[in-house]
Every structure is written in structure tokens, then in C-alpha cells.
Amino acid sequence: MALLLTLSVEHILLKCSYVLCFTIILHVLRLQTGSGSAWKGSGAKVAHGSSRELYSAILPGPRRFPGVPSPRLQEITRMPPSTSKFLGPCPDTPPGLKGPLNVDFDYKLTLDEVRKNISSPLKEGGRYKPLDCIAQQKVAIIIPFRNRHEHLKHWLYYLHPILERQQLDYGVYIINQDGEGVFNRAKLMNAGFVEALKEYDYDCFVFSDIDLVPMDDRNLYRCFQIPRHFSVAIDKFDFKLPSPANFGGVISLSKSQFSKINGFSNTFWGWGGEDDDLYLRVIFHGMSISRPDMVIGKYKMIKHVRDLHNEQNPVNADKVRHTKSTMNEDGINSLNYTVKEIVKDILYTWITVDIQAPLTV
């Protein structure tokens, strides 16, 4: 009987020890973390008010209570926050197009006025992408440039709203020729192609003269299965295509198409010939040219005199006769230039390049 009583007392004392230890641990935790805070242990977030959760957290081994999943199970099955809207691709025909546009150059503009005219948010560098859908193409707009600042303001004023309505993921790159040497439009566009790809994985390239503005926003600045000629009906030419072989003004080529033909020639200094050479590169590589109709393809040209150091070069016409033999060695793979300056404006990325231009031809 005495032995049984002794065992019962020891059993009671042992249970009391467990309770005492548990009470001490609970008290220490409250002192360390403060009332109402949470304690993180064993991967679980535990409130001091729950002794069952505290027990589960501080004692080894999985402890399950009815209706309370283990902390580890909670981690595994936690779902990411749901979103109410998933963006789909933009439609083939953008819904916000206006069609024929009134284009007027008979007034002065400032860049601040141009910025105020932009309703959608542009990002630094003249970058934009639609907010309500995923653009079908990533388009770099490449503009060869020198001393045409008034033209640039008009181009930006009209083109940014048009490009936004066309739901393009696009960037505008002004490739400015440094110095007073002979102008080389084609080499500048090659440099623009290379520089734009350093910034973003563009898959389409639109090459545009600064003095041409479309008169219909249904003329989509995209790339197609074959190279595209946009400016087919310019007011200067009575809205007629000067030649079936014309491939100048505003054109587009995909990255693969442009790489396939080795880009533009780098050797056409002065005015004329580089667009004829490009047309032959396309033809010699088994492609043809696509165009919009003569209504959608209307353009208005800003009137101007020919630039200094961009005079017609009679040598260029002879170079076109040798395109087939020179196109694989003269182009992107032989391009050399030096970037002098890059400026990021909200309306454009301005890249000044030294293309080692001669002073005369």
C-alpha cells in the first residue's frame, strides 16, 4: 500500500513538472515578444493566445489537432493571390482607329505642346505599350536625322497618338548624324537597328523619314509576311506611286527580314539610291513588297529645301547596278560607327552617332 502511494505521488509530481515547465516557457515568450505580437518558429506564425498552436510550435514532431492543419501543410497549399483581369492579345484591327486624318503643318509647335497632346502615358525614351491588351508586335520606329527640329515636332505630334491607337508596343529612336559631313540616311538606319536591339527585343522595325506623316491611321505600322511599303501615295507626287520599284519614305521589315538582306548598304553618301538598293536586296533574297491601298496609304510631306551636305550624288546610281555582288558584304555585317550621346526624353530616344562621314563626295 505504501509502495502504491509512493508511485502515485511521483506520478503527480512528474505531471506537475511538465505543467510548470510549460508555464515558464509561455511566460518567457510573452516577456520577449510583447503582448499581442506573433512568434515565428518552425515555419509557423503563432499568436500567444493559442496554447494549442504554441504547443505545436515548441515541441518536436508533428502535432495535429482536430480542425487545425499543420503549419507545413498550410505552407504547401497556400495559393497565390488571384487577379481579376488577365490580358489577352490585342485584336488584329484596333478598335480605336479614326480612319482619314486632318494633317496640318501650317503652325509652330513646341515640344511642351507635343507632350501635352499625348493622352496615354509614355515611358522615358518614347516607349509605350497598351494597358488593356498585349500588343501583337514590338516595334522600333527608326528615324534618320540631322537639323530637322521643326519637322520632328510635327512628326511626334501626329505619330504618337496614331501609334497608341494602333495598340503597338513601340519605341521611337531618333538617330542623329554627328558633325557636318555628307549625310548617309541608310547607315544611320543600320545604326538605329543595332542600337534599338540593345534596349529591347523588338521584332519589327519601321524606318521613316522625318518629313512624312500618314493621313490615315488604318495604315498600321506593323511588320507583315513580306517587307512593307507604307508611303505609297504622297501629296508631293499627287498621291500616286512614282514607281512599282519604289521602296522609300516609310517602310517596315521584321528583324528576320532585315537580317536576311544584311540591312541597308553603308556606302550611299548624299541623296539618292539607297532605297533602290534596298528594294533589290529584298528581290534578290526571294521576297516581294506589300503595300496598303492608295486611300489608306496617303501621306503628307512637310515642305522643305534639300539639306546642306545631302546633295544628290551621281555615283550612287552606278552602285545600284552592283547590289547583287555587294549586298552580302556591305550592310549590318560591315557597319561601323561610334555612339556620341544618348538622351532619353519622354517623346523619344535620341542617339547621336559618328558614322565617319566624308566632308564631300
Domains of the chain, residue spans: 17-76, 111-304+311-354
pLDDT at 120: 80
Q: Please report the pLDDT score of residue 54 as a whole number.
A: 38
Edge-to-edge strands, sheet with 298-301 = 212-214, 298-301, 233-234
Q: Going by DSSP bridges, is the β-strand pair 169-177/349-354 parallel, antiparallel, or unpaired?
A: parallel
Residue that is written with C-alpha cell 552617332 in the block: 353
CATH 3.90.550.10 at 111-304+311-354, yes or no: yes
Tens digit of pLDDT per residue, the chain (361 long)? 443 444 444 444 444 455 454 455 455 445 444 443 333 333 333 333 444 443 344 344 443 434 434 433 333 334 444 343 689 999 999 999 999 999 999 999 999 999 998 878 899 999 999 999 999 999 999 999 999 999 999 999 999 999 999 999 999 999 999 999 999 999 999 999 999 999 999 999 999 999 999 999 999 999 999 999 999 999 999 999 999 999 999 999 999 999 999 999 999 999 889 999 999 999 999 999 999 999 999 999 998 655 555 666 778 989 999 999 999 999 999 999 999 999 999 999 999 999 999 988 7
Question: What residues are labeled active site?
Answer: 209, 211, 271, 274-275, 301, 304, 306
Exposure string over 208-220, b if 16+ CB within 10 A, otherwise e: bbbbbbbbbbbbb
Grid coordinates 515565428 are at which residue? 40
HSE at residue 104, side-chain half, CA atoms within 13 A, is 5
Q: Extract the C-alpha cell encoding 16.
A: 506537475
User: Which residues have a Cβ under 8 Å from the Cβ of 16 and sit 6 or more positions away?
Assistant: none
Helix (H) or strand (E) holding 228: strand 228-229
**59 — phi, psi (to 5°)?**
-100, 140
- Are 179 and 269 within 8 A, CB to CB? no
Contact between 254 and 223 under an 8 Å Cβ cutoff? The reply is: yes
Strand stretches in 14-121, DSSP E = 38-41, 44-47
Instruction: Please count the other Cβ atoms lying within 10 Å of the Cβ belonging to residue 25.
Output: 14
180, 279, 335 from 315: Cα distances, Å: 20, 18, 20
Contacts of 272 (CB under 8 A, 6+ apart): 312, 313, 316, 317
pTM: 0.76
CA pair distance 260, 262, nearest whole angstrom: 6
